[in-house]
Amino acid sequence: SKVVVALGAKQERAWVVRTRCQKRGRFRLGPLSLTSGDPFGLFQITRQIPQTTNVVIYPATVDLPDFVLPLGVLSGGDALRRRTHYVTANAAGVRDYAPGDSFNRIHWPSTARRDRLIVKEFELDPQADVWLFLDGDRAVQAALPQPPPVFHDSDKWWVIQDRVTLPPSTEEYGVSVAASLAQFFIRRDRAVGMVAYGQAREVIQPDRGERQLTKLLEMLAVFRTVGQIHFHDALTIEAEQLPRGATVILMTSSWDMRWVVAAQSLKRRGLRVAGVVLNLPTFGGQHENASLADALWAVGIPAYRVKNGDDLAASLTLGAWMARRYDVG
């Protein structure tokens, strides 16, 4: 972009540039070129400003009024406790320092009393954990041609709040679903973690608060479905770290029945499992996968279906859940 301003000696000029960001990702600003000269362009001088900075555009999210989860398997408010090397809000005790322990885990009063390094131990609270699993297998993705952007004549077009229009691809819908669910649970004070196999294995341990939401959105901002690990394999690999009683939400456009079998295995291990199936043919895919949502229901796992063009706020709410469950409408 270019900005032309009249700037006299020892003067300052500031300006604001507004743009509507329609593509998620990490983008670079800079370097900058400053050119000054006389009005006739006879004498010019240019200075290069090499510094750059990054701007992260988060994925589109929608405000979900509700989201139905399966009934819990831990009754009476009981919680199974499991020790973890991650720092959580639940301190479980202290132990001797071990190589590799973070310094922020050191318990200084105990260290002073015992005259050696003592660190705090933490435990997970499985009832508070929500794990989001996003399928990044490139073999099960589909996309339709991107429609041309719509431009507004208004001089304040950036404030026009239209309904979120996502690119017609399973990648963008999956990312937006994951981001919207993360926002939904974080704002209800739930601990949310995420697993995604895209460019690499990405695992974010569950935590609460806006800082955790920012971490999840930053990961999703640059996520690409270029992975080569099938979804059922990813579920099998990660299953061991999921504590009994945790909630697991699976988001995929895969037509492979093996991930449904893997989901059933998670349920048998005492996990609360739900699924979001992206309807592949509506994105231009050749394989039918809507029946996998029915297969999930058949084994007692709630499932949502999302089609290209759907309003996510409507597709992921109680009304959609009831309609799919009881074939209403």
Any idea where the domains of the chain sit in the sequence?
Answer: 82-124, 126-326
Q: Inform me whether the pLDDT recorded for 1 exceeds 80.
A: no
Domain 126-326: give its CATH superfamily: von Willebrand factor, type A domain (3.40.50.410)
Q: Which residue has the higher pLDDT, 96 or 171?
A: 171
pLDDT of residue 92: 63
Tell me the average pLDDT of the chain. Answer: 84
Q: Could you identify the residue written with the tokens 């456009």?
A: 253
Question: What distances in angstroms separate CA 228 from CA 11, 136, 144, 200, 325, one per listed residue?
Answer: 56, 8, 22, 9, 33
The pLDDT-based confidence of 288 (bands split at 50, 70, 90) is very high
pLDDT for 35: 84
At 329 the pLDDT is 40
Its pTM stands at 0.77
Binned at pLDDT 50, 70 and 90, residue 123 comes out as: low
Q: How far apart are CA 83 and CA 243, in angstroms?
A: 10
Residue of 127 and 4 predicted with greater confidence:
4
Strand duo 53-57 + 25-29: pairing: antiparallel
DSSP for residue 147: P
H helix or E strand, kind and range, residue 265: helix 258-268
Q: Where are the beta strands (DSSP E) in 208-288?
A: 247-252, 272-278
Burial of 296 (0-12, 13-18, 19+ CB in 10 A): buried
pLDDT tens for each residue of 182-199: 999 999 889 999 999 999
pLDDT tops 90 at residue 280:
yes
What span, in angstroms and rounded, lies between the C-alpha atoms of 127 and 81?
10
- The SS3 of residue 43 is coil
pLDDT in tens, 225-270: 999 999 999 999 999 889 888 999 999 999 999 999 999 999 999 9
* The pLDDT value given to residue 151: 58
What are the E-state strand segments in the chain?
25-29, 32-37, 44-49, 53-57, 82-84, 91-96, 118-124, 129-134, 191-197, 201-207, 247-252, 272-278, 303-306
Kindly state the average pLDDT of the residues 81-110: 73
Closest CA to 242 of 212, 214, 263: 263
**Cα–Cα nearest to 157, from 22, 23, 295:** 22
142-160 mean pLDDT = 68
Contact 289, 254 (CB under 8 A): yes
Give residue 319's pLDDT. 56
Per the structure block, which two tokens stand in for 182?
């993360």
Helix (H/G/I), strand (E/B), else coil: 179? helix
Q: Tell me: pLDDT of 178 over 50.
A: yes
Whether 328 shows a pLDDT value over 90: the answer reads no
CA distance linking residue 205 with residue 192, whole number of Å: 8
User: What per-residue confidence (pLDDT) applies to 78?
Assistant: 39
Q: Are 117 and 96 in contact (CB under 8 A)?
A: yes
Structure tokens at 26: 């990490």
**Greatest alpha-carbon span in the chain:** 83
- Please tell me which of 27-36, 40-49, 57-66, 69-78 the model is most confident about, judged by mean pLDDT: 57-66
Give residue 76's pLDDT: 39
Predicted confidence (pLDDT) at residue 73 exceeds the cutoff of 70: no
Given a contact cutoff of 8 angstroms between Cβ atoms, the answer to whether 91 and 124 are in contact is no
How far, in Å, CA of 130 to CA of 186, rounded? Answer: 10
Instruction: Taking residues 137-154, report their average pLDDT.
Output: 81
Query: Residue 29 CB: number of other CB atoms within 10 A?
Result: 10
